[in-house]
Structure 1
Amino acid sequence: MHHHEVNVEQAIEQRQAAFSDIDSTTRSVARALKQDDVDWVWVSEKADELQQHSQRLSGLFPLGSAEGSKTKEKVWDNKHQGAFHTGLAHMDAGFVALYHAAQKQNRQAALQGVEEAQSTCKGCHRQFRALW
């Protein structure tokens, strides 16, 4: 087993864990923002975690890490790579907006940040995620 292969496996594992954390945390945050009494300290902490995850993700798609994952090959294709990284950047921007809104305790803006991030997930999956 080459060192390279281990890295690829680790990258796949780490990005899948990050995406699944992002998914469940974003849902929890959306629920929290719909409560009468929003726990803004908790929402801020979660927004910070989400940002850390999304920033790490762009580094977790090394070349050759499509196999054994749900990623379509075109993630690494020059023609599509820009769109892929733009997708991740949009998701990140949503979490940044969420964080700033949480600091100001602005429910409307926070929900908008969450929605921006979530809609990016869907669009990106349609293009870049294999369903099998």
Structure 2
Amino acid sequence: MTQERNFKVNSQLLPEGFPREFDAHIYFDESSRAFAENLREKAIAAFAGRRVFTGDMIPTGIGPHPIPMFEMNFPKEVFTDVVLWLMRERGSLSVLVHELTGDDLYDHTQAALWLGPQVELKYSVF
């Protein structure tokens, strides 16, 4: 599925006007990369036609995220659907879900919801 991309955020391109209210960071390593790639494709298919943007695979740590990941961005209206889907489909991958309030430290700590083991983030970048 090709998604129109024309707005750059966190090295990803989002559709113009996309409501970035929540992020989900889905972490993987080399041993789980194939599963993560498959999960990403399943996410794109599962949320086709809905206000969910699934980003590219990010092969190295970036910002506070020390290991590879991909992101899903979505508005509050589909929060429950996305989080329940991730709960069922994530396998053994760790997932961080957080609101985007403009306060990155708050978003990644106090407002963080973890599915699976918590990944130790690099909070010093904030």
Q: TM exceeds 0.5?
A: no
When normalised by structure 2's length, the TM-score is: 0.27
Larger radius of gyration: 1
More helix by share: 1
More strand by share: 2
When normalised by structure 1's length, the TM-score is: 0.26
